[in-house]
Chain A
Amino acid sequence: MFLQLFDIIFYFFATVTLISAGIVVFSKNIVRSAFSLVFTFFGIAGLYVLLNADFVAVAQLFVYVGGILVLLLFAVMLTQKISNLQMKITTLHPIIAIILVASLIGVLCGIVRMNDWRIITISEIPQSTAQSIGKALITTHILPFEIISVILLVAIIGAAMLARKSEKKS
């Protein structure tokens, strides 16, 4: 019973992710592609939840849907006349594309094959993910954490500077 239910939910999220990702790529309307990305992110978050990675799932929603996607939609909508523009979805350089896609698939398959997958039981999954992530961030991974925060700060200051400049000119 449990396994069946689990499988049904897994295939549900997997189909949602794949179909919406297909729409993102094949739709000729750029705004529809952007909106379809919501469901892709949502499906991936669902798959994370199924893997008992609740923090990653919520972070996925928070960062991608709440941040990046809204920004993307804003950019797409503020660009004038773009809603009438028909995107070209034909292949321009088939040979280069085939080489790149083939090598990407090769690398991905290689990782899947070569990685030593470890199967853990439910009892091995830590109960409080948020707490252990927080601890790891300020102990073992403090340096990358600080570097990322400095980079983000630089980006914020840069964005503010750019916005200020254009204001002066106009």
Chain B
Amino acid sequence: MPEFLTNIFGKTIIVHIIMGAVPLLFILPYALVVIYVEMKLSSHMQNRVGYMRTGWHGTLQPFADIFKLLQKENIVPAEADKILFSLAPFIVFIGMYAAYAVLPFGSGYVGSEMEIGIFYLLAVSSLVVVGILMAGWSSNNKWSLLGAMRSVAQIVSYEIPAALALLGVVMLAGTMNTEMLSAMQSGGMHEWFIFGGTLPLWKKFTIIPFMFIIFLVYLVSSMAEVNRTPFDLPEAESELVQGYNTEYSGMKFAIFYLAEYGNLFLISAIAVIVFFGGYTSPFGKFLSGGVWDVFWFITKGMLLVLINIWIRWTLPRLRVDQLMYVSWKVLTPFALVGIIVIGFILVV
């Protein structure tokens, strides 16, 4: 794809800009679809119908919502720190979007094939943390600040089990390059890292339970990192109004919203790359290559997003002490044990 674009435009800089904009073309329609699916699914889970009036079964509702947000007045609280207040949503969005640089959507489209892809993913997401703190503090609102504090404390503590879980797979694969990780699992479903990759048979069977453990650790902690419902203490409506984005309205609120959904796909995509074969087809050579790669990547990612939505509307919110208990006394020890055992199995 880059060569083909270079032939058209001649200059590499233009190609880089175009390549950088491609994930945005995915995120915008994806967010519209997922917002609709989430609302509709949650309504049916709660025995109601949800959107019905705009378009067939409310399919035009997300568009209506977008237009509503675009038209809204952009309010900045009088006592807020105006510069930081305006900057915060963009910092959050940049932190989310920068991570898309290393997502291999297909063998033909990889933004950056850097050697340290997984490490980079973990590092740039810290920009989101800074953005949330900035939003909470600059709003000059106690609820916002408390929400931001909770959110950051939560993300920082759940980063540890998430990183440890990813480390287990990195040990198995021997690389942090996201493109390589995907390509290593191209043999079909049985070669996915969650099923032990391409190890010899007996090693595979001993490693599978531990791969499942670290996958569950990753799933739970990634859910906490995007502040979604079992872990939505940062925006607990009954306690904190809306959390760090209470004071935001119009476009700035929309950007927070978009960043949240972008992050949701991001964590699912990382799980797909690391555990479920990335862009490769689950049937080996069958239906693989070209557009099929992109199809498989997005399908797998969307399935995990669906699981996230399903869990969100099933479980109630945790208490703060339970939140810390889950992170430090359950997930972290399990991930550590998983890593040690995987290391032993690999060395033996």
B contact patch SS:
helix
B170 to nearest A CB, angstroms? 10
Chain B residues near A54: list those with CB within 8 A: 114-116, 120
B168 CB to closest chain A CB (Å) equals 16
Identify the closest chain A residue to B16 (Cβ).
Answer: A5
Q: Which residues 81-125 in B have Cβ within 8 Å of A in the complex?
A: 81, 83-84, 91, 114-116, 119-120, 122-125
Binds B, one of A11-19, A67-75, A115-123: A67-75
Q: Known contacts being A66-B129, A130-B176, is A58 close to B152, with CB within 8 Å?
A: no
A58 close to B123 (CB less than 8 A) = yes
Q: Is A65 an interface residue (CB 8 A)?
A: yes
CA distance A32 to B149 in the complex (A): 17
Q: Does A24 count as interface, using CB distance less than 8 angstroms?
A: no
Q: Which applies to chain A's interface (DSSP): helix, strand, loop or mixed?
A: helix
Is A145's CB within 8 Å of the partner chain B?
no
Surface stretch bound by A, among B66-74, B130-138, B242-250, B271-279? B130-138
Interface residues contributed by chain A, number (CB under 8 Å) = 29
Note all chain B residues with C-beta closer than 8 A to A128.
115
Question: Contact at B115–A130, with CB atoms within 8 Å?
Answer: yes
Closest chain A residue to B152, Cβ basis:
A70
Interchain CA distance A127-B113 in the complex, whole Å: 12
Is the CB–CB distance between B130 and A70 below 8 Å? yes
| 17 contacting pairs across A/B (C-beta < 8 A) | A32-B84, A38-B91, A54-B120, A55-B119, A59-B119, A59-B123, A61-B124, A65-B126, A66-B122, A66-B126, A66-B156, A67-B126, A69-B130, A127-B115, A128-B115, A130-B116, A131-B115
A-B contacts besides A58-B120, A70-B156, 19 pairs, CB < 8 Å: A1-B11, A29-B81, A31-B81, A32-B84, A35-B130, A38-B91, A42-B127, A54-B115, A58-B123, A61-B126, A66-B123, A66-B125, A66-B159, A70-B126, A70-B129, A70-B130, A77-B137, A130-B116, A130-B176
